[in-house]
Amino acid sequence: MVLLNLYIVYFVVCILSVNSTCTTNNDEDVRKFPLNFAFGTATSAYQIEGAWNVSGKGENIWDKYVHKNPNVVIDKSNGDVACDSYHQYDRDIEMLKELGVDYYRFSLSWSRLLPTGSVANVNNDGVDYYNNLINGLLKHNIIPFVTIYHWDLPQKLQDLGGWTNPIIQDFFEDYANFVFRQFGDRVQHWLTFNEPKQICLCGYGQTTFAPGLNMTGVGDYMCGHNLLLSHARVFHLYDKKFRIKQAGSIGITIEGTWSEPFSSSKEDFNAAERFMEFEAGWFMNPIFSIKGDYPAVMKERIAVNSAIQGFSKSRLPEFTEEQIRLLKGSSDFLGLNFYCSTMARHINTNVSSEPSYEDDANVYSYVNQSWPHAASSWLTVTPWGFHNYLNRIKNLYDNPEVIITENGYSTWGGLVDNDRIKYINLHLNALLDAIKDGSKVTGYTVWSLMDNFEWQQGYSEKFGMYEVDFQDPSRKRIPRKSAKYFIDVIRTKSVKHYDPEYYEINDCTNSVYV
């Protein structure tokens, strides 16, 4: 197993010493996780660190995007200060210790370490910051789980074309080599990228995320191609130069959304499958499938549409046979971010004269309004979709090891967040169902440790188990009810089994929920 290989004896002793929190629960109501199962929580650099232009940090694409276009964020906010974790990492570590997590997933700011994106210009203050954070985590037996890239490309590299320019592969490999050398003696769990689809589709195909280039059907595919090849190069770099000495593992995090057919028709079933192939298969298939390469449906549809539109070749770049071989199996585990499900319906449309990812996928995807909703308009509560998606991965990709690297629920604020507790509990039960079905899921990560800058939603939506007061210059953090719930889950390595239709939070006298 990837996680807990260093501390398993310590955690087994702790688990065996803990009794159930609520004595009113019957034994049959409690579901146990495997002893080597790990729990954590997550953040990302731009969303929490702040200190955007101090201590030698360079400008990144989100800095530029929100400063130049403040209206793209619903509350016109930005990550200039955010949670001020650059100055308050000690409090962050204290919160993680309070929760009792096995690991903490955080990301490195490329432009804080290498202000221009190049290893020719190292910011030692940035190196010191991450050394202090990593050492502080290890001091409290918290495993650092590090994402190398979480959406915040140095602006100097974007000026060269960013992820659409093949030269980015060289820069990313150099950057990864640098962080392995700097931190790999203490960091043994790595992710190359967080959510490639959001990087490419939302940042290069649309204007949802930085850099907001709006090059749909072209820029997004170029981005995805270079990103995948960058991932493969860094995986093999780690494999050849660092794995034996540092005894670590490296993977990638991909977001998955379960797609439910609108009807039982073959057309809608195919539309749902097509949605999932275009959404996550785009990046999972080249790495985790037996044959490798992009999903067949992507290759076929984009090639046909490109020909109709007068292109001389497919807008989807083509891998060489050597690149296909390099990509296949280039991950020790699959990091899965799962939040919700969607509905899918087949549509009959003529191909537009202009390239479009939406035309290529040809799926009408929408949120079922009858499903329970979080504060985020896109976030529905569909634990059955989580179960289905894990089974899909098991069956489609020869049952790889999966670590849930994000799963979470948004509210509008407040310390009593019963809906978040219910969401997490339902998804943990669905996860246990998937393990029972044979899925190799070894870890679960709540998004997020604390409220933070949620991209276009700014600070309006709250995902944190800790509330952050963004009006307070000290950015005071206060635990929510969900934090106390998660403490109980981690301590007991278990969740209560219940009928979700009648679920209520149990506030019995000696409960941590009180």
Distance of CA 494 to the CA centre of its chain: 23
The residue among 444, 484, 488 whose CA lies nearest residue 42 is 444
The residue among 202, 146, 137, 105 whose CA lies nearest residue 448 is 105
Asked if 267 is an active-site residue, the reply is no
Q: Which of 195, 255, 273, 461 is catalytic?
A: 195
Residue 141 near residue 71 (C-beta atoms within 8 A): no
Q: Which of 401, 406, 454, 467 is catalytic?
A: 406
Phi, psi of 92 (to 5 degrees): -60, -45
Residue 118 near residue 174 (C-beta atoms within 8 A): yes
Burial state string for 467-479 with b = 16 or more CB within 10 A and e = fewer than 16: bbebeeeebebeb
Asked if 467 is an active-site residue, the reply is no
Angle, helices 418-436 vs 383-396, to 10°: value is: 30
Residue 478 near residue 466 (C-beta atoms within 8 A): yes
In angstroms, the CA 263 to CA 204 distance is 33
> Helix, strand or coil for residue 414?
coil
Q: 501: burial class by Cβ within 10 Å (0-12, 13-18, 19+)? A: exposed
Active site residues: 195, 406
